[in-house]
Amino acid sequence: MVPIDSFHFTRGEDQLAEWKVPDAQFFTQVFCRTCGSPMPRVDASRGFVVIAMGALDADPGVRPQNHIFVDSKAPWFEITDDLPQYEAQQTSARI
């Protein structure tokens, strides 16, 4: 996530489509109409942009800081690092 004032599209914004999960309060998928790639989702009401890692062409220079939703991970998936684990999403003042 990045603050909304730190983000802008340079091109292709007109090619975006979105699909909102009917029963979800916030969950919406944004994707490219041409290739189907995940794309950033601007959440103006909350002041940030959610950028899917699959939308990046280069190393963003940041690394995971924790694991969220570990209570719903696949039972066969093993977390093998020492990062903090949380059952649900962690909110932070720093986005």
Q: Report phi then psi at 2, rounded to 5.
A: -135, 150
Identify whether 9 is part of a domain.
yes
Whole-number pLDDT of residue 94 = 43
pLDDT tens digits, one per residue of 33-91: 999 888 999 988 889 998 887 778 889 888 888 898 899 999 999 999 999 999 876 65
- Overall number of domains in the chain: 1
* Residue 61, both tokens: 């220079």
Identify whether 15 is part of a domain.
yes
Identify whether 17 is part of a domain.
yes
Whole-number pLDDT of residue 85 = 94
Range of the domain at 28: 2-58
Q: Which amino acid is at 29?
A: Q
Identify whether 39 is part of a domain.
yes
| Alpha carbons 83 and 86: distance in angstroms, whole number | 10
* 17-32 mean pLDDT: 84
Identify whether 86 is part of a domain.
no
